[in-house]
Amino acid sequence: MAVKDRVSEYRRRMRARGYRPVQIWVPDVRTEEFAAEARRQARLVAQADRLGDDQEFVDAVSVPWDDE
């Protein structure tokens, strides 16, 4: 049986079981652009520890849910 026929039969069986094919696009993690963006975001996360003012502000103006 040819690959095309096996794939066609597999898809037919899956449809008969109530499934449908879904195609999704995801970032290509092998590209240099992806690596550069990952490094940029990692630097921002690392800096967040040194710039802790934001979370302190949020904590100061927040009310615990069970106190409402």
User: Dihedral of the CA atoms 14, 15, 19, 20 (nearest 10)?
Assistant: 110
Contacts of 27 (CB under 8 A, 6+ apart): 34
Question: Which tokens belong to 13?
Answer: 């069986």
8 Å CB contact between 28 and 34: yes
pLDDT(2) > 60: yes
Indicate the domain borders of the chain. 23-63
- CA distances from residue 43 to 16, 31, 32, 50, 53 in whole angstroms, order as listed: 49, 19, 16, 11, 17
Look up the pTM and report it: 0.48
pLDDT(51) > 80: no
